[in-house]
Structure 1
Amino acid sequence: MSEENREEKKKKFGFYHRKGEKIKVVFKDGKAVTGTLLWVPPYEVIIETEDGKELTIFKHAIKYVYVLD
Structure 2
Amino acid sequence: MNLSNWPVIRQLREFGGDDAIVDALIVVGLALVIAGALVGRHPAVVGAATLYVVAVAVYPVYRALRRRTQNRP
Same fold (TM over 0.5): no
* Structure with higher strand content: 1
> Over alpha carbons, which structure has the higher Rg?
2
| TM-score after normalising by structure 1 | 0.21
TM-score for both structures, normalised by structure 2: 0.21
| Larger relative contact order (Cα-Cα within 8 Å, sequence gap ≥ 6) | 1
